[in-house]
A and B are shown apart, each in its own frame.
Chain A
Amino acid sequence: GESVGLHLPTLSVQEGDNSIINCAYSNSASDYFIWYKQESGKGPQFIIDIRSNMDKRQGQRVTVLLNKTVKHLSLQIAATQPGDSAVYFCAETLNTGGFKTIFGAGTRLFVKA
């Protein structure tokens, strides 16, 4: 069935360390993937996206890796800061006639000072 899941519900890292948040997806037809950050009391905020014809994309301090062979997506945050503490969602989009986006359950990232 269609599902997007995350390997770890919580992740705790030391300030300055790199963070890696993982996500598994099950639909091989998905062709667009997005990472969102959600802080308490706010809506999800777009971080970075990647299309299925790519396997890596870099932004400012963030990198997304896509492994279509094992249907795995990861978000790497370099030099994690206290402001990075939030819940991170991966989402996949597949073409079902329209474009349907499915969110995973999320990973909560704690950054220790």
Chain B
Amino acid sequence: EAGVAQSPRYKIIEKRQSVAFWCNPISGHATLYWYQQILGQGPKLLIQFQNNGVVDDSQLPKDRFSAERLKGVDSTLKIQPAKLEDSAVYLCASSTQGDNQPQHFGDGTRLSIL
């Protein structure tokens, strides 16, 4: 089966600019996650969707980050305006619906803020 697709792979922007990331999960996976991974650290959950509804966005900096999954399939994550500390890899993952399902990750978008 095709894996989780993310684009772009790399993005370089200046602080205060905006940026958007796209994710297409594995077909049939109802749950979609966005993580932020700062260099040398483990992934940190930003937001979790179940179909097109938000399950958990408690760690999403809502003053600058937003995400949507309008049709319950692919998803976009936006940052506006970007700050230097947003430099990280943004990972998308998906899983089947249900308890205790492993997450399948894309290769991420590496964001550098100048």
Contact = CB atoms under 8 A, between A and B. Distances in A.
Contacts of A36: 105
Interface stretch (B11-19, B43-51, B64-72, B77-85): B43-51
Interface in A21-57: 31-32, 34, 36, 41-46, 49, 51
Contact of A44 (B55, B56, B91, B100): B91
Contacts, number: 56
Given A41-B107, A43-B91, A31 B43 contact: no
Nearest to A39: B107
Contacts of A96: 56
A14 interface: no
B: contact size bracket: 20 to 34
B63 interface: no
Given A43-B4, A98-B56, A51 B100 contact: yes
Interface string A65-103: 000000000000000000000000101010110111111
B28 to A, nearest CB: 17
Contacts of B108: 42-43
B61 interface: no
B42 A46 contact: no
B91 to A, nearest CB: 5
Interface of B: 4, 33, 40-45, 48, 50, 55-56, 91, 93, 99-100, 102-108
